[in-house]
Copies of this chain bind each other. A is one copy, B any other.
Amino acid sequence: MKRDSRLSSVLHALLHMAERGEPLTSEHLAECMGTNPVVVRRTMGLLRNVGLVQSAKGHAGGWSLAADLKAVTLRQLHEALGEPAVFAIGNRNENPDCLVEQSVNAVLDEAFAEAEALLLDRFGAITLADLSAEFSRRHAAHVKERKRNAS
């Protein structure tokens, strides 16, 4: 089953944008994410629709953040991407006549709903600032490690 990795992609892109501070072109982002500039524009366009980023054409144009890192949650991003299906597993038929299947669906749906609620709740509690902090932590550890190896 092929997974939707757009959330992961945009997070990657947004953090790079936050690091840099100047607009990054679709081409640059595409290269750094191993994809295509048009795909980047399509995806980032969804974030622009809800005001999370802005884009500029022409010289020195590109994409830049339009919101405070502390104010953007993963849940917002998930919603901006159109709330794609969370699960790769599901019912065969959502509205079956068969009572057996209806029973199966009801029980499965409940379990899925709980797990989805938990996930979205977690997403709602994680901000871009949290991710940025996680990066800083890893970056510091990385630098320290490199230093140790060099000496």
Q: Which residues of A approach B to under 8 Å, CB–CB? A: 1-5, 7-9, 11-12, 15-16, 19, 32-34, 74, 84-93, 98-108, 111-112, 114-116, 118-119, 122-123, 126, 130-131, 134-135, 137-139, 142
Contact = CB atoms under 8 A, between A and B. Distances in A.
Contacts of A5: 89-92
Contacts of A115: 115-116, 118-119, 122
Q: Is the interface of A mostly helix, strand, loop or mixed?
A: helix
Contact of A104 (B15, B90, B103, B106): B15
The 5 closest A-B pairs by CB, nearest first: A3-B90, A5-B92, A115-B119, A103-B135, A88-B88
A8 B90 contact: yes
